[in-house]
Structure 1
Amino acid sequence: MKSKLKSLKKRVSVIVKDSNRKPFLQIIREAILFWIAKNEFPNFYFGKFLYRKENKNYKDYLSSREVDKITLSKNLHHFQYASILRNKLSFAIYMEKHKLPVPLMVGYNFKNRFFKKSEECILQNTSDLFTYFNSMFEATGKVSVFVKDITEMGGIGSFLITKQNLKEEIEKYGSYILENDCIHQEVVNQHELINKIYAQSVNTIRFDTYIDKNNKIHILSAFMRFGRGGSFVDNGSVGGFYLSVDLEKGVLKGKSHQLMKHGGGQLKEHPDTGVVFDNYEIPYFKESCELVKKAVSYVPDRIIGWDIAIGSNGPVIIEGNDNNSFITPDIAYGGYLKHPLFKEIMEEAK
């Protein structure tokens, strides 16, 4: 209850302080109309910033009920594909088998049982874990590895382990790694033009794909996420932000968006580097579009959110998500219900 009240207080504070909000009477009127049209309390009216002046088509945004209809649809999603997407270990093995570009897996662990190539060992404590990663760095010449919980989402259970700060990072993350199931992957060598915006995290493009009723693959939308303030993850749920991407031009569009719980700020440039976002060209964007369509042919769930990093030599698949919340892409697109394919999607979401 306390956390809910704190969240509500945060939302009210963001709305009241937002200089870009509509007049209060208009906000109240629209919230009521959204409530009537969607037949649910208008949480999403506020959470998706539909009270801001530029959002005139507020009824084109998905309600939580409409999102649930899509994400829970057995016609759009199938267990056999979801089971590949939701397990990062299975996903990495499957993608590598089909020679699709993903970060190279260097090992994994099921709690304190660790696997690396043909080797297997049991680690008793964080001291053993320090020795394990230190030996890996010495043997491979690598200076960092990305460790991710096999089943968690939203940046939870994701850790950058580096040779330089190994002792501190094992002290901080070691217990979690030993008590959970994790995959260990090489860190993507990010393209210099993406590093120019923010180099501390692997910044990913989220592509939403859809297989229509005639079995044709479409890219519904794209947005790009960035970390900030030294964070090594770009996820909005941990304080990062995102921008819409022009699918035709392959450039960033307008201002950034941030989740309300982190302040809901809108920025024209990255706060750490000062790089202006609007019209910033994304390298290998055409190749990224081609890659996600190819990936869909190997995992043909009808709606997937793909996270693609831009490496120095081309796009790299980070993960695919069948359980997309649609909050972020709905905001980035400017109201998914105005998308020409969404009428069919809602009809197919049985």
Structure 2
Amino acid sequence: MKRLWNRYKDNILIIQESYRVAGLCVKYYGGFRVRAFLKALRFTWETKMRPMEALEYGAFSSGARQYSDYLSKRTCSVLQSRLNPQDWFWVTEDKGIFQSFCDANKIQTPKCLALLFRNSPGISSGRPVPATKSAWAEVISRLDLDKVVIKPCRHSYGRGLLVPLLREDRIEVNNIKFDSAQELANYMFDLPELTSWIVQERIQSHSALSEFSGTKHLQTMRIYTHVDKRGKIFIIDAFLKVIGGDAAIDNFQHGSLGNFIAPIDIESGQLESAITRSPDMLWYRFDVHPRTKRKFQEFTIPLWEHAKELVIKNAECFKPIRSLGWDVAITEDGPVVIETNMRWDPPNWNPETIYNVRKVLENPDSVFAK
């Protein structure tokens, strides 16, 4: 009975969401709301994709692909759960646990400078850090803040990321200014939904990547790996997260930050035309970076072969997890793993990428490494 009631409530929410999305479709694309409403309901029924999720992927625009070309986040999660043991979830999804796992397995990651917990002692330089604001402030005061990044252990999409900068004896973090390390510690400690933090050295992108996009901020690649039936590991697909504007992070977030996605040819490491979304929910491709005027198709990822070797070699350490999405940075000294996810969002923005990913997720024992 409870299951039926929950399904009923979910259906009501989908109807309400479809009606709101229909109004947005009329705003962005024109047409009639009733027709857009029925289209949203049908799309959700056939793909299991929420109406707002579908709108963000441009599924209701005139240039949308056929329904079967989209993979909902819900379906993707179900397929991933059949490949990846859920008991290992926090190995990749908690940045503190992930860091300890990588350190134990000698996987190249940014150096961990501190782990801070609100409800229990943390650690920094091998010494315990009490769960107090003053202890956190003491740790922060010893750091070279222009060379660190502070991340919530259990947030994703770059949410909660702190990139501190020293400006005239003040600490500036995401346009918030603090007069002291104690004020920054108080701010972090008092955020209600964030109870644990990891402090890492700040990684710099390879100069070739920085020059290509005209930014000093870190740009990473997403590389998908799969363990086939024989236990062999191979790369399914990859793309570069390109900073297009003044954002300090490279997260795509459907183009809302002004960033782009540039698919990578797996064999050569060469970029393809970039992809992004306009404010009116239209997806499009382009060949030239708007800031630097560099052509995407004339740029090859530096140290690409080393990056491929890095993920294939270290995917062995994560077995029995079979499906992983890696965020890898290319530095002057080589590739570095920023994070790895066993539950990653379907890349519906590119038909070729989603085809490759879906083929493996739906037929995990029928696709083999070369």
Which bin holds the TM-score, normalised by the shorter protein?
Answer: 0.7 to 0.9
1:149 alignment counterpart: 152
Q: Please say if 1:185 is aligned against 2:200.
A: yes
| 1:120 corresponds to which of 118, 128, 136 | 128
Asked if the contact 1:205–1:225 (Cα under 8 Å) also holds between the matched residues in 2, the reply is yes
Q: Please say if 1:234 is aligned against 2:250.
A: yes
Asked if the contact 2:26–2:36 (Cα under 8 Å) also holds between the matched residues in 1, the reply is no
- Equivalent residues in 2 for 1:162-177 (5 A)? 162-164=165-167, 166-169=170-173, 171=178, 174-177=185-188
Percent of residue pairs bearing the same amino acid type = 20
The whole-number CA distance in structure 1 between the counterparts of 2:268 and 2:48 is: 38
The whole-number CA distance in structure 2 between the counterparts of 1:192 and 1:162 is: 21
The whole-number CA distance in structure 2 between the counterparts of 1:114 and 1:134 is: 16
| 2:95 corresponds to which of 72, 75, 88 | 88
2:6 alignment counterpart: none
Cα gap change, 1:189 to 1:109, in 2 (>3 Å): same
Q: How far does residue 241 in structure 1 lie from its aligned partner after superposition?
A: 2.7
- Equivalent residues in 2 for 1:199-218 (5 A)? 199-218=215-234
Asked if the contact 1:336–1:342 (Cα under 8 Å) also holds between the matched residues in 2, the reply is no
Q: Which amino acid counterpart does residue 194 of structure 1 have in structure 2? A: L
Q: How far does residue 282 in structure 1 lie from its aligned partner after superposition?
A: 0.7
Q: Which amino acid counterpart does residue 97 of structure 2 have in structure 1? A: S
Q: How far does residue 228 in structure 1 lie from its aligned partner after superposition?
A: 4.0
Can you give the 5+ residue segments of structure 2 that lack an aligned partner in the other structure?
Answer: 1-12
Q: C-alpha offsets along residues 173-195 of structure 1, whole Å, 9 cap, x if unaligned?
A: 64442243100000112100111
Q: C-alpha offsets along residues 92-111 of structure 1, whole Å, 9 cap, x if unaligned?
A: 12212222210011112112
Asked if the contact 1:111–1:177 (Cα under 8 Å) also holds between the matched residues in 2, the reply is no
1:257 alignment counterpart: 276
Q: How far does residue 281 in structure 1 lie from its aligned partner after superposition?
A: 1.0
| 1:283 corresponds to which of 302, 322, 326 | 302
Q: C-alpha offsets along residues 153-206 of structure 1, whole Å, 9 cap, x if unaligned?
A: 111121112344752336386444224310000011210011111434211111
Q: Please say if 1:331 is aligned against 2:349.
A: yes
Match of 1:205, SS state, is strand
2:56 alignment counterpart: 47
The whole-number CA distance in structure 1 between the counterparts of 2:44 and 2:171 is: 52
Match of 1:309, SS state, is strand
Q: How far does residue 332 in structure 1 lie from its aligned partner after superposition?
A: 2.9
2:10 alignment counterpart: none
The whole-number CA distance in structure 1 between the counterparts of 2:214 and 2:27 is: 26
Say what the alpha-carbon RMSD is for the aligned residues: 3.9
Can you give the 5+ residue segments of structure 1 that lack an aligned partner in the other structure?
Answer: 18-23
The whole-number CA distance in structure 1 between the counterparts of 2:123 and 2:299 is: 41
- Please identify, of 237-246 and 178-187, the stretch whose mean Cα deviation from structure 2 is larger: 237-246
Cα gap change, 1:31 to 1:156, in 2 (>3 Å): closer
The whole-number CA distance in structure 2 between the counterparts of 1:59 and 1:283 is: 35
1:70 alignment counterpart: 79
The whole-number CA distance in structure 2 between the counterparts of 1:52 and 1:247 is: 30
Residues paired across the two proteins, number: 331
Asked if the contact 1:208–1:304 (Cα under 8 Å) also holds between the matched residues in 2, the reply is yes
Asked if the contact 1:208–1:222 (Cα under 8 Å) also holds between the matched residues in 2, the reply is yes
The whole-number CA distance in structure 2 between the counterparts of 1:317 and 1:256 is: 24
